[in-house]
Copies of this chain bind each other. A is one copy, B any other.
Amino acid sequence: MQNNKESTLLKRYKYPDFTQEPFLSAPDVKLAKAPLDQVAPENFHATGIYPEYFKIDGHWLLAKESRMDCVPVYRDGEIDVIELRLLKAGEPVVTGRTENCEEGIFVHTDGFGELKEASDAFAFRQGRSRETAFSRDYDELYQVLRHDREHGKIVWVIGPAFAFDYDARRAISKLIAAGYVHALLAGNALATHDLEAAYLKTALGQDIYTQRNRHNGHYNHLTTINRVKLRGGIRQFIRDENIDNGIIYSCEKYNVPYVLAGSIRDDGPLPSVISDAYKAQDAMRDQVRDATTVICMATMLHSISVGNMTSSYRVMPDGTVRQVYFYCVDISEFAVNKLSDRGSLACRGIITNVQDFIVTLSKGLGL
């Protein structure tokens, strides 16, 4: 049961009234077959982050899971929202590029009162900057995390900077131990530096606390990768080398699933890194599908990727529709505003050093 504060926190979704116009007299949506694998038909419809309804056989179907720039496909009586590259020849794809029922498509941009909020936002400031005040964002975030620890799914997306700082590594480990992390999305670099820190107490050869260079420390990340491979995997490495701290260690200990995506700048990679970009995207989306809060920190590439695959709503197991919280934390206004640019009105940006952010956050949660 939610208390009052939490009820305030989550805005109630205002379901469309399909017994009214223009829903009643709207035509059924037109479906067209994909001409080839991975190719959509002419005039295909593309999805966004808002709830979308499609009229089929006189009934309005809500896409259960949505994301940016995908196509709605009618499968087994439901609407699946899938990437173009996953489309199969012959599948029935929704066509039409209107959003207000003209072609049987309704994009519900105001289900949580976003329009009002957006116009308020426009009234004062476009974008968020280093001078934006963030006290209230932190306070809201504490509430969101406390609520979703019990009632939702919190997905964290983190860049390699986290492995460089002693306090930041400790803070995120505490968050994992305390149940605030339900999935972790990262890259080979984060995992490598974190394991190096646990194994050799350095990150890229520097002592993670004193920042002093170790002799031949530039070997340390390669040595770590090499040792993990010799042991046969991350789990075996943790066991055999008696690793007892860090982000990846904590994920393993508390059974938090993590996805490590490969990139062209990687050394290694570590075993279990997904080398194919699109398979990695699929694995990430599998974690994001049922997320209710997503926090992206210090990684523009992963933030944009996850921002594109996160919708503004979630259909909960009991069928209710709730909003999804999406945060982007970065020291660069460019990175944060780029996400807002892409249409994520629902995106809260916080401009700061992520080391301070995560330490502040863990203290604010009493950890």
A40 part of interface (Cβ distance < 8 Å): yes
B353 contacts A134, C-beta separation under 8 Å = yes
* B46 & A97 in contact (Cβ 8 Å cutoff): no
Residues in B neighbouring A14, C-beta threshold 8 A: none
Residue of B nearest to A128 (CB): B211
A10 vs B304: C-alpha distance in the bound complex, in angstroms?
40
Inter-chain CA distance A208–B135, complex, in Å, is: 9
CB distance from A26 to the nearest CB of B (A): 19
Q: Are A284 and B305 in contact (CB under 8 A)?
A: no
Beta-carbon contact of B84 and A268 below 8 Å: yes
Q: Shortest CB–CB separation between residue A8 and chain B, in angstroms?
A: 13
State the copy count for this chain.
4
Q: Answer whether A38 and B359 are a contact pair too, CB < 8 Å, given A138-B167, A164-B133.
A: no
Q: How large is the interface on A (under 10, 10 to 19, 20 to 34, 35 or more residues)?
A: 35 or more
Instruction: Report the bound CA distance from A301 to B206 in whole Å.
Output: 22
**Contact among B46, B165, B261, B305 for A133, CB-based, below 8 A:** B165
| Cβ B135 vs Cβ A166 within 8 A | yes
With A275-B278, A276-B277, A363-B363 given, name 18 new contacts (CB 8 A).
Answer: A46-B219, A120-B213, A126-B127, A129-B338, A131-B160, A131-B161, A131-B164, A133-B166, A133-B209, A133-B211, A264-B278, A264-B302, A264-B305, A266-B278, A275-B276, A275-B277, A352-B353, A359-B360
